[in-house]
Each structure stands twice: as structure tokens, then as C-alpha cells.
């Protein structure tokens, strides 16, 4: 990449491709001042900007490696850029301003008409981001996420929670362009990446970012490899994961263990038992909620310590649940308060966050003492010492933006997006200090830049228990693909979805279609959902139990292949679930596909995500012969084909000349 002076301006060029073009009439940089107004309701944010100034930096003074930018010739420079190319085709632009009032920044990158862009974290609605803008702010993902649906309307009306296509637990100011470059903005401030304009991408950041990083590579896979090196790679999957499904069960010892036994007895291979309510529950007007006081509830699980040991003997791990908050009425709260481990409000009191009829303190992870205490007392003593092998490390999106004092002195609006990886790092360190990285499996929905390094497994957050376009089964695929190209190798979801509201209930069909997809992800895990009693569960009928048992066998059968993918993830940063174009860049038809994926390089999966489907249309990438797993028929790529779509036989293809054909051919033998 190079910085090139042109008449009255400059360009940034890569392989004769102009990535950025700056002239007085079409400046690529703007700075300004704005005042945001952020309203928060239980993890949902209404963010408004009052923009006071937006100054086009029309005048540039270009030196060897730096550019001084100002508004017209005789005014003081407002921004200094330093261009730092590196030998590997990457480059960094460092940004500096002498004016501390400036808190808005815009950069425009040049666009080619046919260009696609992907990324921006874990995007649930749209994989190709062109034509839309994406506010980047970690939050609840929304319920319905589509203003034309009744679900979204009711969620907005009653819970301010309907959301929209861009809401996500895991945003990231990084995108990959089909022009074989990626761009990352090194800032945790609120950002809005706008890909609507036919002439430029405009990236807006609510501070002057320290640096903007560019990555280039000859292929998309190489680019993904570079990004995963930059953001960090996950350890290999723990061996115990491969032995079956993780069953999410709760409701106390009796209920949980009897249902587990029943599942095992019926032939379901179980690798883990995940009990959300290991620390107890509370009753609220919304129903049962977990008790956010992170230690074994002897009341709810009297023999949990012994149970965990006996499970281990059966080769079943125990998984728990934890979040970075402590409820005010728990036993741990006063201890943490006494030690001054919580973030404070501006009166010097512990800042309390409303989670719905209970308030919690926010452990201030910018305070070393708080990190150490949480790692030692909660994760290591209360969880690892109990024999826990994994957990849902929930939340991370709720950091308040006003009236919050953090130990590191940084404004909490700037820290809001940085919180998920900070929370992930507390988990990662606690595990690493015990030498258990790669052995313990915690999973998270919240994320941001750096999540890659600290989170061994993403979970897709809370889908509706349905096939809806913007909050149903298919969104999980989009989430896996978009997070995957930014270096998150492992992704999975609640089988059957989670959110059941306003009469929307999980059906047997939704559950079973979700099982069929989850079989081809790195980890299978069920969740009972927010209203277990009203929704279909894996053990509600014998037929579903049998179906699940068989699909778990398929998952287990693929262990050698999945281990290979896990190796690839560890050594090259390739995601397990891959966008088709990662392996078929010459087939432009693959660039917009977001409801199919390659499972590793060799298998193609096209999950059925509509109700009452008898058949399913699948695109097979060009220049490859594909074998349909269920009847071994060969099909030439480069076309759409339609296949039967019975439950238990999801549309699945492998490459004819794969090294793994024998393994794949074994799938149809599994009863």
C-alpha cells in the first residue's frame, strides 16, 4: 500500500486500486463536534446525535509519510495523519488532532460499483453490508428486529426491545471488502459504518480514532488469516466437546438430573450438562430469573459437588452460568462493595443497573483488584474448584454510559463497546492461570474487537423460537459467517432459539430443523428458552429424542473432520463455518449467499429455515463437482438445484474429490 500525492490532495493505493482519494472538492476526511443523547432500557439503547460541526478537511499538506489536514488554506491543521505501510501489504494510518473538543470523525473510502463488504462483527440480518449503514454499539440484539412485524412492534411497545437489522451483541468496526482488503478502526467509541453511497464508504467514529488499519491479501482466506492474527486466535476445541451434545437443563437437581438420565437412556450422547440456575433463582413478575450471586446454590442443587464428580465418571461435563454483575441482595455484593470493586456513580455510590426488578453492581474490570477478585473468588474458587468445565459468560452489553466512574478514568461511553472483550479477558485469564485454556469451554454472545483473543466460542445470542427472517434460525448462519471472517472460528446457537414472547412458541418443527443445522457447527447445545413450560423441548416426544440422538451421532461421527477444522482454526484462523466465497472467490454468485455455508472446505450445508418445506433450493459453487450426501448423486457446481428436505436429512453436499469422502459417506449409515 502506498500514500501518493496528487494535485491538491492525496490517495492511498493498493495494487493500482485507489482505496482513498482526497481532493478539496471531495475530501475523504471530516472532523466535528457532536453531543450524543443515549437512553438505556435494559440493554436496549436509543442513541441520538446532535451534530454541531462537521468540517470538511479540504486543504491537505502532504509530506513523505504524513498529511496535515485543515479547513481551507489559512486555517490551523485540525488533523495529522501518519501513514505507516508495512512489508506484508498492510498499512496503518495514525490520526492525531491538537483540538481536544473534536469528538466526531469521518473517513471516506472509495467504492467500486460491484464491490461487496462483509463483517462489522456478528451481523444477524445482512452478511453483505452494501446498501445499508451499521451503527456499531454492543446491545441487546432486539426481539423481532424488523419494524414491519407484530413481534417487533409489541417488543418495542412493551419493552423498548424490538431492535432493528443492525442490533447485535457483537459489533466490530472492521470490514472486509471484495476488493481484497480489510479496514479496521482502532477505537471503541460508538461508530456507524455507512455503505449506502455508490461513491464511497463513510465510516463515522465518535472520537478521533488512534489508528485506522488496512490489511490486504491475494485471497480472502489469506485475508481472514491476517485478521485472525491481528485480533487473536482461539484455542483448539476441548476434546470432551466431541463426545456429544451439551444439554441445557434447569429447575433444580431432581428435574435436571432425571431428564439428563432419561436422555442418556434414550441414546443421546451427552458431552455436557449445562445448568443456568446452578447459583439459584429469584421470582419476578416476568417469571423465574437467575440469582446473580455467582456461587453454588446448595438449596437448588444440594449435591452438586458430588453430582459433578459422578457426571465426570460418565464422561459428562458440568457447565454453569456467570455474568459480570452481582445482584444487590446476594452474598457476594457486600463483599465486593467493601473491597471497592464496583464502578461508582458520580455521587461515589455503587452504580446500580436495572435488570428487571433487581439491581446489580457492575464489577469494574478496569480495576486490577476487581479483576483479580472475580477471577479468584468466582471463576476459580466458586466454579473451577467445584469441577465446572464451562459456562455461559453472559452479558457485557449493559455498561451504562452516564454517571459511571471507572477506575481507568476513561469515559464509560468510550468503554461501553470495550466491555465485552474486557469481560472475556477476565474469563480467559482465570482459566489460563489454572492452565486450563483449551480445556474449559465458556461461550459468550457479547463481543467487540479483541473478543477473538479471549473468547473460545461465540454463541449467537437470543433468537426468536421461529423461522422469522430477522430473528429466526437463518440469522444464526449470518452471525457465524460475518463473525467468522473477522477471525472468530467457533460459533454456535441455542438449538430451537430462545425468545418466546407474545404467544410465539417453539414448535417441534423449529426445534428439529435447528438440530439439523447445529449438527454441522462446532458445538451442539440446547436451551430450554425463556419460557420452558410453554415451548417444545427435546424430550417432549420419543420421535424427537430419536431424531436428536441420531443427529448427535452424526456430529460425533464427524469428529475427525471437526478436529481437522479446529486445527485449521488454531493454525490459520479459518472459521469452522465459512462463507462460500472464501473457497470460491471466482464464483461471484457466492458473494451474497448468507443462508448456506461451507463446513470447513469440504462440506456444504444449506439449512432449511422455513416452515413446511418439502424441498430446498441450494446453490452449489462453480468449478466443483458436488456429491449430495443422502443419495451420493453427483451435481456440477455453478447452479441452483432443488433437493428433498425431510427433517433429519438437511441439504448437505461434499466435494467429489475430498480426502474425507469415506467419512462423509458414513453419514447415511447412521441410524
Would you say 102 or 643 has its CB closer to a copy of itself? 102
Distance CA(466)–CA(505), nearest Å, equals 8
H or E segment to which residue 222 belongs: helix 220-231
Positions 264 through 323 that interact with a copy of itself (CB under 8 A): none
CB of 148 to a copy of itself, least distance (A): 5
Catalytic site residue 397?
yes
Would you say 74 or 285 has its CB closer to a copy of itself? 74
Pick from 102, 139, 151, 156 the residue near a copy of itself by CB under 8 A. Answer: 156
Which of the following is catalytic: 397, 494, 528, 595? 397
Residue carrying C-alpha cell 428436505: 645
Positions 54 through 113 that interact with a copy of itself (CB under 8 A): 54-56, 71-72, 74-76
Would you say 54 or 617 has its CB closer to a copy of itself? 54
Which of the following is catalytic: 156, 394, 494, 539? 394
Residue carrying C-alpha cell 466435494: 655
The reply to whether 2 sits near a copy of itself by the rule CB under 8 A is no
Residue carrying C-alpha cell 437443563: 249
H or E segment to which residue 414 belongs: helix 412-415
- SS3 per-residue string spanning 312-326: HHCCCEEEEEECCEE
CB of 132 to a copy of itself, least distance (A): 12
Would you say 76 or 542 has its CB closer to a copy of itself? 76
Would you say 148 or 586 has its CB closer to a copy of itself? 148
Instruction: Give the CB-side neighbour count of residue 253, counting CA atoms within 13 A.
Output: 13
Positions 158 through 197 that interact with a copy of itself (CB under 8 A): 197
Would you say 156 or 528 has its CB closer to a copy of itself? 156
CB of 112 to a copy of itself, least distance (A): 20
Q: Which three cell numbers stand for residue 335?
A: 463483599
CB of 81 to a copy of itself, least distance (A): 20
- The interface region with a copy of itself, picked from 49-57, 372-380, 429-437, 480-488 by CB under 8 A, is 49-57
CB of 462 to a copy of itself, least distance (A): 23
602: left (phi over 0), alpha (psi -120 to 50) or beta: alpha
The reply to whether 153 sits near a copy of itself by the rule CB under 8 A is yes
Would you say 190 or 581 has its CB closer to a copy of itself? 190
Would you say 74 or 586 has its CB closer to a copy of itself? 74
Residue 254 CA, distance from chain mean position: 34
Distance CA(437)–CA(440), nearest Å, equals 6
- Count of beta carbons in the 10 Å neighbourhood of residue 541: 12
CB of 157 to a copy of itself, least distance (A): 5
Which of the following is catalytic: 364, 462, 466, 471? 462
Q: Which three cell numbers stand for residue 140?
A: 441487546
Catalytic site residue 433?
no
Closest CA to 318 of 247, 413, 420, 227: 247
- The interface region with a copy of itself, picked from 4-12, 50-58, 224-232, 634-642 by CB under 8 A, is 50-58
Distance CA(514)–CA(466), nearest Å, equals 10
CA dihedral over 181, 486, 576, 638, signed as positive or negative = negative
The reply to whether 199 sits near a copy of itself by the rule CB under 8 A is no
Closest CA to 175 of 198, 138, 203, 200: 203
Query: 312-341 mask for a copy of itself (x: CB under 8 A)?
Result: ------------------------------
Would you say 9 or 32 has its CB closer to a copy of itself? 32
459: left (phi over 0), alpha (psi -120 to 50) or beta: beta
H or E segment to which residue 35 belongs: strand 29-41
- The interface region with a copy of itself, picked from 46-54, 286-294, 554-562, 624-632 by CB under 8 A, is 46-54
CB of 74 to a copy of itself, least distance (A): 4
- The interface region with a copy of itself, picked from 147-155, 285-293, 297-305, 523-531 by CB under 8 A, is 147-155
Catalytic site residue 462?
yes
Distance CA(370)–CA(163), nearest Å, equals 32
Would you say 153 or 373 has its CB closer to a copy of itself? 153
CB 281 within 8 Å of CB 350:
no
Instruction: Give the CB-side neighbour count of residue 106, counting CA atoms within 13 A.
Output: 23
Closest CA to 641 of 667, 622, 664, 665: 622
CB of 15 to a copy of itself, least distance (A): 29
The reply to whether 51 sits near a copy of itself by the rule CB under 8 A is yes
H or E segment to which residue 216 belongs: strand 211-216
Positions 577 through 606 that interact with a copy of itself (CB under 8 A): none
User: Could you tell me which residues are beta bridge partners of residue 214?
Assistant: 91, 183
The reply to whether 150 sits near a copy of itself by the rule CB under 8 A is yes
CB of 56 to a copy of itself, least distance (A): 5
CB of 549 to a copy of itself, least distance (A): 42
The reply to whether 30 sits near a copy of itself by the rule CB under 8 A is yes
- The interface region with a copy of itself, picked from 60-68, 145-153, 451-459, 583-591 by CB under 8 A, is 145-153
Say which residues have a Cβ less than 8 Å from residue 265's Cβ, sequence separation at least 6: none
Would you say 200 or 498 has its CB closer to a copy of itself? 200
Give me the numbers of helices (H) and strands (E) for the chain, helices first please.
Answer: 14, 37
Residue carrying C-alpha cell 432425571: 258
3-state class percentages of the chain: helix first, strand second, coil last, to nearest 5: 25, 30, 45
# of chain residues touching a copy of itself (CB under 8 A): 21
CB of 75 to a copy of itself, least distance (A): 5
CB of 473 to a copy of itself, least distance (A): 23
DSSP 229: H
- The interface region with a copy of itself, picked from 150-158, 321-329, 432-440, 544-552 by CB under 8 A, is 150-158
Residue-wise DSSP of 163-212? --TT-BS-EEEEEEETTTEEEEEE--S-EEEE---SSEEEEEESS--SEE
Distance CA(423)–CA(363), nearest Å, equals 10
| Total length of the chain | 671
- The interface region with a copy of itself, picked from 44-52, 392-400, 557-565, 577-585 by CB under 8 A, is 44-52
The dihedral over CA atoms of 596, 599, 600, 603, expressed in degrees to the nearest 10, equals: -90
Helix (H, G, I), strand (E, B) or coil at 141: coil
Would you say 103 or 417 has its CB closer to a copy of itself? 103
Pick from 9, 28, 32, 241 the residue near a copy of itself by CB under 8 A. Answer: 32
Q: Which residues are catalytic?
A: 394, 397, 462
Tell me which residues touch a copy of itself (CB under 8 A).
30, 32, 50-56, 71-72, 74-76, 147-148, 150, 153, 156-157, 197
Amino acid at each position: 500500500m502506498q500514500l501518493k500525492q496528487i494535485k491538491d490532495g492525496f490517495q492511498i493505493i493498493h495494487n493500482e486500486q485507489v482505496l482513498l482519494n482526497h481532493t478539496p472538492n471531495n475530501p475523504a476526511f471530516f472532523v466535528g463536534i457532536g453531543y450524543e443523547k443515549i437512553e438505556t432500557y435494559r440493554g436496549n439503547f436509543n442513541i441520538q446525535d446532535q451534530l454541531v460541526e462537521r468540517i470538511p478537511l479540504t486543504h491537505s499538506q502532504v509530506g513523505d509519510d504524513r498529511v496535515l489536514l485543515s479547513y481551507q488554506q489559512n486555517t490551523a491543521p485540525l488533523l495529522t495523519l501518519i501513514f505507516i505501510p508495512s512489508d506484508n501489504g498492510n498499512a496503518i494510518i495514525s490520526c492525531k488532532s491538537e483540538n481536544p473538543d473534536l469528538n466526531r470523525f469521518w473517513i471516506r473510502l472509495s467504492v467500486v460499483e460491484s464491490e461487496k463488504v462483509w463483517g462489522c462483527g456478528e451481523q444477524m440480518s445482512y452478511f453483505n453490508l452494501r446498501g445499508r449503514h451499521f451503527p456499531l454499539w454492543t446491545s441487546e440484539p432486539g426481539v423481532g428486529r424488523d419494524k414491519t412485524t407484530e413481534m417487533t412492534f409489541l417488543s418495542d411497545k412493551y419493552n423498548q426491545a424490538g431492535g432493528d437489522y443492525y442490533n447485535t451483541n457483537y459489533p466490530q468496526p472492521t470490514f472486509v471488502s471484495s476488493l481484497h482488503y480489510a479496514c479496521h478502526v482502532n477505537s471503541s467509541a460508538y461508530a456507524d459504518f455507512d455503505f449506502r453511497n455508490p461513491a464511497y464508504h463513510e465510516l463515522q467514529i465518535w472520537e478521533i480514532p488512534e489508528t485506522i488499519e488496512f490489511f490486504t491479501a491475494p485471497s480472502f482466506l489469506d485475508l481472514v488469516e491476517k485478521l485472525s492474527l491481528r485480533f487473536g486466535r482461539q484455542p483448539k476445541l476441548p476434546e470432551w466437546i466431541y463426545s456429544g451434545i451439551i444439554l441445557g437443563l434447569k429447575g433444580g437437581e431432581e428435574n435436571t438430573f432425571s431428564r439428563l438420565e432419561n436422555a442418556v437412556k434414550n441414546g443421546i450422547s451427552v458431552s455436557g450438562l449445562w445448568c443456568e440456575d446452578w447459583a439459584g433463582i429469584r421470582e419476578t413478575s416476568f417469571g423465574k430469573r437467575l440469582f446473580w450471586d455467582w456461587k453454588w446454590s446448595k438449596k437448588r442443587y444440594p449435591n452438586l459437588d458430588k453430582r459433578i464428580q459422578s457426571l465426570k465418571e460418565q464422561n459428562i461435563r458440568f457447565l454453569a452460568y456467570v455474568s459480570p454483575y452481582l445482584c444487590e441482595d446476594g452474598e457476594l455484593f457486600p463483599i465486593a462493595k467493601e473491597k471497592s470493586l464496583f464502578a461508582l456513580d458520580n455521587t461515589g455510590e455503587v452504580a446500580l443497573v436495572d435488570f428487571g426488578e433487581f439491581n446489580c453492581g457492575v464489577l469494574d474490570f478496569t480495576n486490577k483488584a476487581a479483576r483479580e477478585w472475580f477471577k479468584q473468588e468466582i471463576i476459580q474458587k466458586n466454579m473451577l474448584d467445584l469441577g465446572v468445565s464451562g459456562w455461559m459468560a453472559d452479558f457485557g452489553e449493559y455498561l451504562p454510559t452516564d454517571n459511571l466512574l471507572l477506575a481507568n478514568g476513561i469515559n464509560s461511553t468510550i468503554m461501553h463497546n470495550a466491555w465485552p472483550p474486557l469481560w472475556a479477558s477476565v474469563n480467559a485469564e482465570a482459566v489460563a492461570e489454572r492452565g486450563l485454556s483449551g480445556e474449559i469451554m465458556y461461550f459468550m454472545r457479547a463481543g467487540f474487537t479483541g473478543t477473538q483473543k479471549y473468547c473460545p466460542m461465540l454463541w449467537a445470542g437470543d433468537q426468536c423460537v421461529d423461522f422469522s427472517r430477522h430473528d429466526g434460525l437463518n440469522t444464526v448462519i449470518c452471525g457465524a459467517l460475518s463473525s467468522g471472517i473477522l477471525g472468530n472460528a467457533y460459533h454456535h446457537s441455542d438449538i430451537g432459539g430462545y425468545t418466546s414472547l407474545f404467544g410465539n412458541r417453539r414448535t417441534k418443527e423449529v426445534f428439529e430443523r435447528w438440530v439439523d443445522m447445529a449438527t454441522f457447527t462446532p458445538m451442539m447445545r440446547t436451551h430450554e428458552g425463556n419460557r420452558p413450560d410453554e415451548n417444545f423441548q427435546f424430550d417432549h416426544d420419543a420421535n424427537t429424542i430419536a431424531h436428536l440422538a441420531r443427529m448427535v451421532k452424526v456430529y460425533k461421527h464427524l469428529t475427525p473432520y471437526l478436529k481437522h477444522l479446529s486445527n485449521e482454526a488454531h493454525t490459520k484462523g479459518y472459521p469452522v463455518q465459512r462463507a462460500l466465497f472464501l473457497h470460491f472467490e471466482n464464483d461471484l454468485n457466492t458473494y451474497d449467499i448468507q443462508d448456506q455455508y461451507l463446513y470447513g472446505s469440504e462440506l456444504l450445508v444449506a439449512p432449511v429455515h422455513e416452515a413446511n418445506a418439502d424441498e430446498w433450493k441450494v446453490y452449489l459453487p462453480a468449478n466443483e463437482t458436488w456429491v449430495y450426501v443422502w443419495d451420493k448423486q453427483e451435481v456440477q457446481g455453478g447452479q441452483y438445484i432443488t433437493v428433498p428436505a425431510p427433517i433429519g436429512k438437511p441439504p448437505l453436499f461434499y466435494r467429489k474429490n475430498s480426502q474425507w469422502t469415506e467419512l462423509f459417506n458414513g453419514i447415511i449409515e447412521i441410524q
